[in-house]
Amino acid sequence: MATKLTDVTKVNDAFHRRSSHELKMEMEAMMKRVFVTALEMVEIRFGRTFDGYEELRSKILRTGNDSIRKMQENINGNYNIQKVPSCTIVPKELENVEGREKEMENVG
């Protein structure tokens, strides 16, 4: 009889919720920087008084906020997020290189 695997995409404990929340907040901040910078560049170049400024501003903000909402829905629905401290990650390539060096020492 085969062992039944659990569906890891449905993990909903406090750790995973917190990791997911942190990722969403970081990504939201990055996305906001893009459309805030776009608005600043328009204001620097043309000011706030040109015809169409209000429409352009609302379009940029609406598009940016829609993108943030879609990103958050995508993360909630499709990903199981777990924050891993970068200091504990050992690149696979380095493990393989060290292993090959030891093999070469034993051969020679």
**pLDDT, greater one: 67 or 18:** 67
Top pLDDT among 91 and 2 is at: 91
For the chain, the structural domain boundaries read: 13-107
> Which pLDDT score is estimated for 105?
63
End-to-end CA, the chain: 47
The residue among 16, 14, 1 whose CA lies nearest residue 82 is: 16
Per-residue pLDDT tens over the stretch 16-66:
777 778 888 898 999 999 999 999 999 999 999 989 999 999 999 999 999
pLDDT of residue 101: 58
The answer to whether 82 touches 9, Cβ cutoff 8 Å, is no
- Output the pLDDT for position 92: 63
**How far is it, in rounded angstroms, from Cα 47 to Cα 57?**
12
Distance CA 44, CA 53 (A): 12
Average pLDDT in the chain: 77
Query: How sure is the predictor about 11, in pLDDT bands with cuts at 50, 70 and 90?
Result: low
pTM of the model: 0.58
